[in-house]
Amino acid sequence: MHGTAERLKGPVVVAIDGPGASGKSTVSRAVAGALGFAYVDTGAMYRTLAWHCLKAGVDLKDPKAVASACRRWKTRLFLEQTPAVEVALLVDGYRPRDEIRSKDVSAAASDVAVVAPVRAWMKRKQRECIQFGNLVMEGRDIATNVFPETDFKFWLDASPAERMRRRQAQGVDENLAARDRQDSQRAAAPLMVGLGSVRIDTTGKAVEDIVGEIVGRVRGGG
């Protein structure tokens, strides 16, 4: 972490936004590893809340019930060191992993993510991640809502066909077009390109080339 951090005033936040299956996760993890920064998957935080709500029997179609569950659940941030340096959200001391990648949780995450009090809670919690130092944050509103002040903003996207192919390869059945509409039309922090973001089309590009471009810009100061 020393080389880049010493040249930049920290903590440094690298914001990597974009729609589902745009390559954010793969690229963000690799960028964090290359820079020696901690990785934060903000989408996993919404999935974790969705998993918690399903487990607790919360009515996901009732925004007030979802908001209440978000206010009341017992969570804390934790810096995991292996297999990679990653900020995790623990619920009652437990970190769900495979559970939050199921089809049911994916659908539920779309419901909880549009609830304004949930997004406000998540923003506060995600900004708290800065306590762990330099970060690569992956999400859908990092550059526009969570850390709009960062100098390092990137927007990843890919063609609809490529995004669908990636989801199918992951074994995930998700209506990406419907999710995009829901995310773009929500009242609280809608999905949109952040001002000053570098736009990268990941269609047909090698991961190492995308990572190299982002790492080069961060090390170069912008």
pLDDT at 63 over 60: yes
pLDDT at 78 over 50: yes
Per-residue model confidence (pLDDT) at position 7: 52
Q: Are strands 75-80 and 152-157 parallel, antiparallel or unpaired?
A: unpaired
Distance from C-alpha of 40 to C-alpha of 84, rounded to nearest angstrom? 11
Distance from C-alpha of 164 to C-alpha of 174, rounded to nearest angstrom? 8
**More confident position, 49 or 102:** 49
> CATH number, domain at 99?
3.40.50.300
**More confident position, 130 or 174:** 130
Per-residue model confidence (pLDDT) at position 5: 47
Per-residue model confidence (pLDDT) at position 2: 44
**More confident position, 183 or 80:** 80
Over the stretch 152-173, which tens digit does the pLDDT of each residue have?
Answer: 999 999 888 888 887 777 776 6
Alpha carbon 62 to its chain's center: 24
Nearest to 111 by CA among 65, 184, 60: 60
Distances (CA, A) of 93 to 76, 89, 186, 207: 8, 9, 31, 34
In a domain, 153, yes or no: yes
pTM value is 0.87
Extract the tokens encoding 8: 């930049």
Domain, as residue range, for 178: 10-219
Extract the tokens encoding 42: 């903000």
In a domain, 2, yes or no: no
User: Is residue 114 a contact partner of residue 107, using CB atoms and an 8 Å limit?
Assistant: no
Q: What is the DSSP letter of 197?
A: P
In a domain, 4, yes or no: no
In a domain, 83, yes or no: yes
Number of independent structural domains in the chain: 1
